[in-house]
Amino acid sequence: MATLLVCSATDDLSTLCSALEAAAAAPEGQVRDLKVVLWPAAFDPWDVVAVAAWNPPAGLLPALPALKFVASIGAGIEHILQCPDLPEEVPITRIVDTQQAQGMAEYVLWAALHFHRGFDEILARQTSRTWRVPPQAAASAFRVGIMGLGGMGTQVAKRLRDNGFSVSAWARRAHELQGVQTFAGSTPPAEFLALSDMVVCLLPLTAQTTGLCNAEFFAAMKPGAAFVNAGRGQQVVTGDLLAALDAGQLRGAVLDVFDTEPLSQQSPLWSHPKVIVTPHMASAATDASIACQIVSNVQRVRSGQAIENTVTREQGY
């Protein structure tokens, strides 16, 4: 029987597995004779048409001769592309979810309000019981620079714009978004960095974005600006970020993603007075939504239709 294999070398995907079973069995799923198997339970490799994965186990994917696609269970796909034995021709899909993007918009709006209204200063003064109003201004006086204008970045830009913030955004290709100043190119434009009061990283992890936020990057930011990372931890050189914070070049940082997750108990980020650490919770799609998208693609494969939300391997997202 055709099989959808759910696997991860690092995470427990049993709840997602149940959601996939429910989606496959739902009347609207219309996937007859589909078995959902949670690796490492027994399966016939010749039956596996699709894999739903987070960090696929080594050796598994090349052993599946009938594989039609590999589905990332998240918005990012680097954990699949980094798989050393990923078969060359198999398409990769990812999750694209409007609710998830709305969650990201809420997270970044919270960070923008935190810095724009001076809540960072207020919290720092509370320990000394100091009653002092930080400088207050209209949201339009605070410019947020967003790196990445895809599913996440676009919703974030719109939410900030609609809340009165000035918004700039940078992506590889040219984009037009009403009320948002956009930049295109392979490196963050100097003007973009120099004018933003808060820079937000919403980029996928690729060879080009790994280590992008380094000493040079932070030095090019507006003095006293804030930094938010909700992309991937490997995009930031942590030592360079800490140096920029300690030197006063940056006012503060909100970090949701880290090189190693969970963040090590020994990390200096936990106790840095200018850093807010959140546990990779900026936004997530529900298991039901993830399952629905993956089962829909299985259905498409089996009825000869093109699958949706595929990525371009060469560009890495």
Q: Which of residues 214-273 bind ligand NDP (CB under 6 A)?
A: 230-232, 256-257
Strand, coil or helix: 181: strand
Query: CA nearest 275: which of 109, 115, 142?
Result: 115
Comparing every residue's Cβ against ligand NDP, the nearest one is: 150
Question: CB 72 → ligand NDP: shortest distance, Å?
Answer: 9
Contact by Cβ (8 Å): 146, 200: yes
Position 56 contacts ligand NDP (CB under 6 A): no
Q: How far is the CB of 75 from ligand NDP (least distance, A)?
A: 4
How many whole angstroms separate alpha carbon 32 and alpha carbon 130?
66
Q: Is 133 exposed, middle or buried (0-12, 13-18, 19+ CB in 10 A)?
A: exposed
Is the CB of 35 or the CB of 172 nearer to ligand NDP?
172
| CA gap 153, 172 in Å, rounded | 13
Catalytic residue (choose from 117, 272, 280, 313): 280
CA distances from 112 to 107, 108, 157, 160 (A): 9, 6, 11, 8
Q: Could you tell me the smallest distance in angstroms from the CB atom of residue 93 to ligand NDP?
A: 12
Beta carbons of 254 and 119 less than 8 angstroms apart: no
Residue 199 φ/ψ, nearest 5 degrees: -110, 130
Options 14, 15, 59, 173; binder of ligand NDP; rule CB under 6 A: 173
Nearer to ligand NDP, 87 or 279 (CB): 279
DSSP-derived secondary structure letter, 306: P
Q: How far apart are CA 124 and CA 79, in angstroms?
A: 37
Taking the least distance from each CB to ligand NDP, the nearer of 79 and 251 is 79
Q: Does 3 bind ligand NDP (CB under 6 A)?
A: no
16 CB-side CA count, 13 A: 29
Q: Which stretch binds ligand NDP (CB under 6 A): 10-18, 39-47, 65-73, 275-283?
A: 275-283
- Structure-block tokens of residue 203: 């980029």
Q: Is 282 in the site for ligand NDP (CB under 6 A)?
A: yes
Instruction: Identify which of residues 76 and 118 has a Cβ nearer to ligand NDP in the complex.
Output: 76
Query: According to the binding rule CB under 6 A, does residue 132 interact with ligand NDP?
Result: no
In the complex, least distance from residue 100 CB atom to ligand NDP, rounded to whole angstroms: 6
116 is catalytic: no
Q: How far apart are CA 39 and CA 8, in angstroms?
A: 8
Binding part of the chain for ligand NDP, among 82-90, 123-131, 169-177, 240-248 by CB under 6 A, reads 169-177
* 52 and 316 Cβ atoms separated by less than 8 Å: no
- Member of 57, 91, 150, 189 binding ligand NDP (CB under 6 A): 150
State the burial class of residue 166 (Cβ atoms within 10 Å of its Cβ: 0-12, 13-18, 19+): buried
Q: 49 or 291, CB closer to ligand NDP? A: 291
Task: Please identify, using beta-carbon distances, which residue of 37 and 202 lies nearer to ligand NDP.
Answer: 202
317 binds ligand NDP (CB under 6 A): yes
Told to judge if 175 belongs to the known catalytic residues of this protein, a careful annotator would answer: no
User: Binding of ligand NDP at residue 145 (CB under 6 A)?
Assistant: no
Map the footprint of ligand NDP across residues 63-122, applying CB under 6 A: 75-76, 104
CA-nearest of 7, 202, 2, 169 to 100 is: 202
Assign residue 14 a region (left: φ > 0; alpha: ψ between -120 and 50; beta: otherwise): alpha
Q: Given the rule CB under 6 A, which residues bind ligand NDP? A: 75-76, 104, 148-153, 171-173, 202-206, 208-209, 230-232, 256-257, 280, 282-283, 317
Q: List the catalytic residues.
A: 232, 280
